[in-house]
Structure 1
């Protein structure tokens, strides 16, 4: 394999259940970097939530955040951004709260946890809305209602949540832009993840890796299923395909 870039989801993939990077994963990422391979965090998280991990790994290229809603350099230069219309965010918040489903909102200037909302949605630029519930019927109802809007991209990062971005936004499309910037192709990418917001990048990559703890659909879409995030699955995939 001629892998030039490793794209890693964070929660459920690079990070263990304690939210940390294992020594094994850290060492094998360092070996890949020493070999001249780019390592890119490709996550549903927003910039400030993932940046400390990039710093600790000494990454030197790009960060894909908010499921592809933003692309940043590690020097915090914004390369690309995709926004939701404020009235759409308002509508989705009302829908979720009407069904008593928990919400979180990500704007370019704030994170609105715990069903919080701004006084005026139009005062902010919106990257993503998320909601979660253990009542799958409520989540199904939200998916059904939002499916009528052709400007929305629906995915999840856990079976118990829904994440909504602007239409066309995905980790795959963001990684294609990163590849253009670096002068490589998606066939030279290894992408690893565990949830539906990872499936497009896993399908588009030269080597698509599903975690052992991944949702079944991700395992079916992947070229290879590695160990779980508690068993250094990322490091083992790097060792197999890159080093």
Structure 2
């Protein structure tokens, strides 16, 4: 094994959105053994960097589902953004379907609704099987705003006109609305539509996928896909699991992800990433 790629939410992070000591130690051990470790996440660079820094980890990051590739020191290596007309098309489809969404840009993530911005984090935690109380999850969600990981905007159209847009993160517990939006989005060949939780949609340019970004990184490092391991739990991880020679699903992962996997590791609350890495180090 020469390259390990791990998702963050529901995978590397526990339900408190932190990296456990066991996971951090396993990653450091792999790096010391000469194995490249990369984080592949739907988060933007700022939100992805915080838990890594807290755990004392330094590694490249494939941000926003592969829309950005950042080096271990944060340098922007590659970026795939949506054209303005494409971003406006997504905005119109989601608005028409009455689906809440956030916009991820080169200036960070933005929302136009504070309360719904909290709900989306709570939904991710609940989908990952968190046992925390609603009040505890709400406090975790508030930290996104307090830390600057997500910002408020009054006008998405002006935001799209002035920034590079990487991703729309849409959320609705109404399956009919969510499916209507998904169907309309998938009619456009230029978009990749996936999910990181049961009630959301993640929309990027079709070239902004974890699997494509992981392939690009591996090829630049001269590593064959057979020597790559990918670890994930949800549908936005599918492209990298299909690319990797060894695909690992989390115990808390979606059924479709487990079906793709070569083996299933423990849950994100039981240091599943560490157990998968240590299996190969041994």
CA contact (8 A) 2:19 2:55 kept: no
Residues 1:166 and 2:205 are matched in the alignment: yes
Shift of 1:22: 1.3
Moved more, 87-96 or 146-155: 87-96
Residue in structure 1 matched with residue 271 of structure 2 by the alignment = 232
Which residue of the other structure, out of 127, 139, 147, is the alignment partner of 2:186? Answer: 147
In structure 2, stretches of 5+ residues that fail to align are 114-152
In the alignment, what sits opposite 1:182? 221
2:53 counterpart residue number:
55
Question: Contact 2:93–2:185 at 8 Å: present in 1 too?
Answer: no
Partner residue, 2:16: 18
Q: Is the 8 A contact 1:62 1:178 kept in 2?
A: no
Looking at secondary structure, tell me which structure has more helix per residue: 2
Match of 1:131 in 2: 170
Runs of 4 or more above 6 Å deviation = none
> 1:190 aligns to what SS in structure 2?
strand
Unaligned runs of 5+ in 1: none
Q: What is the RMSD computed on CA atoms of the aligned residues?
A: 1.6
Residue 252 of structure 2 is matched in structure 1 by: 213
**TM-score when scaled to structure 2?**
0.81
| 1:193 maps to 2:207 | no
2:93 to 95, 99, 111: 95
2:243 aligns with: 204
Retained in 1: the 8 A contact 2:46–2:108?
no
Q: Which residue of 2 aligns with 1:112?
A: 110
SS class of match (1:12): helix
In 1, the alpha carbon distance for the partners of 2:225 and 2:53 equals 25
- How has the CA–CA distance of structure 1 residues 232 and 60 changed in structure 2, closer, same or farther, with 3 Å as cutoff? closer
Write out per-residue CA displacement over residues 198-231 of structure 1, whole angstroms, 9 at most, x where no aligned residue.
0111111111000001011000011111111011
2:42 corresponding residue in structure 1: 44
